[in-house]
Structure 1
Amino acid sequence: MPARAANPTHRLIPAPAGRIHLVEQGTGPMVLLVHGFPESWYSWRHQLPALAAAGYRAVAVDVRGYGRSSRPGDVAAYRMRELVADNVAVVRALGEESAAVVGHDWGAGIAAHSALLEPEVFRAVGMLSVPYTPPGGPRPTEAFARMGGDDEFYVSYFQRPGRAEAEIEPDVRGWLAGLYAALSADTMPAPGAPDPHFVGRGGTMRERFPGGRLPAWLGEEDLDVYAGEFERTGLTGALNRYRNMDRDWEDLTDLHGAPVTQPSLFAGGRKDASTMWLSDAIDAYPATLPGLTSCHLLDDCGHWVQQERPAEVNRILTDWLGALPS
Structure 2
Amino acid sequence: MPQHAPAAEPSTTVPGAVHRLVDVPGGRIHLLEQGTGPLVLMIHGFPETSYSWRHQLSAVAAAGFRAVALDVRGYGRSSAPAPVDAYRMTAHVADNVGVVHALGEETATLVGHDWGSSIAADSALLRPDMFTAAALLSVPYAPWNPVRPTDGFARIGGDEEFYVSYFQQPGRAEAEIEPDVRGWLSGFYTSLSGDTMPPPGTDSPFFVPAGGTMRDRFTGGALPSWLPQADLDVYSADFERTGLTGALNRYRNVDRDWEDLAAWDGARLTCPALFIGGALDSSTTWMADAIAAYPTTLPGLVSSHILEGCGHWIQQERPEEVNALLTKWLHTVHA
Instruction: Give me the TM-score of the superposition, normalised by structure 1.
Output: 0.97
Corresponding residue number in structure 2 for 1:39? 48
Corresponding residue number in structure 1 for 2:326? 317
What is the SS of the residue equivalent to 1:156? helix
| Worse-superposed segment, 11-20 or 150-159 | 11-20
Corresponding residue number in structure 2 for 1:3? none
Residue 16 (str. 1) matches residue 25 (str. 2): yes
The 5 A counterparts of 1:57-76 are 57-76=66-85
Measured against aligned partners, the alpha-carbon deviations of 1:108-152 in whole angstroms (never above 9, x if no partner) come to 000000000110100100100001001223000000001122110
Counterpart-to-counterpart distance in 2, 1:287 and 1:102: 21
What is the SS of the residue equivalent to 2:329? helix
C-alpha contact 1:17 1:71 (8 A) present in aligned 2? no
Counterpart-to-counterpart distance in 2, 1:138 and 1:29: 38
Counterpart-to-counterpart distance in 1, 2:334 and 2:117: 22
Residue 112 (str. 1) matches residue 121 (str. 2): yes
The 5 A counterparts of 1:293-308 are 293-308=302-317
Corresponding residue number in structure 1 for 2:11? none
Counterpart-to-counterpart distance in 1, 2:158 and 2:261: 29
Residue 30 (str. 1) matches residue 39 (str. 2): yes
Corresponding residue number in structure 2 for 1:133? 142
Measured against aligned partners, the alpha-carbon deviations of 1:180-224 in whole angstroms (never above 9, x if no partner) come to 000001000011111011100000001100111000000101000
Counterpart-to-counterpart distance in 2, 1:148 and 1:190: 20
Residue 221 (str. 1) matches residue 221 (str. 2): no
The 5 A counterparts of 1:1-326 are 7-326=16-335
Measured against aligned partners, the alpha-carbon deviations of 1:69-96 in whole angstroms (never above 9, x if no partner) come to 0000000000000000000110111011
Counterpart-to-counterpart distance in 2, 1:31 and 1:76: 28
Question: What is the deviation of 1:15?
Answer: 1.0
Question: What is the deviation of 1:228?
Answer: 0.4
Question: What is the deviation of 1:59?
Answer: 0.3
Aligned AA for 1:227? S
Question: What is the deviation of 1:17?
Answer: 2.5
Question: What is the deviation of 1:325?
Answer: 4.3
Counterpart-to-counterpart distance in 2, 1:136 and 1:103: 21
Aligned AA for 2:62? A
Question: What is the deviation of 1:256?
Answer: 1.2
Percentage of identical aligned residues: 67
Question: What is the deviation of 1:294?
Answer: 1.3
Aligned AA for 2:73? R
Instruction: Give me the TM-score of the superposition, normalised by structure 2.
Output: 0.95
Counterpart-to-counterpart distance in 2, 1:132 and 1:322: 22
What is the SS of the residue equivalent to 2:277? strand
Q: CA RMSD in A?
A: 0.8
Equivalenced residues, count: 321
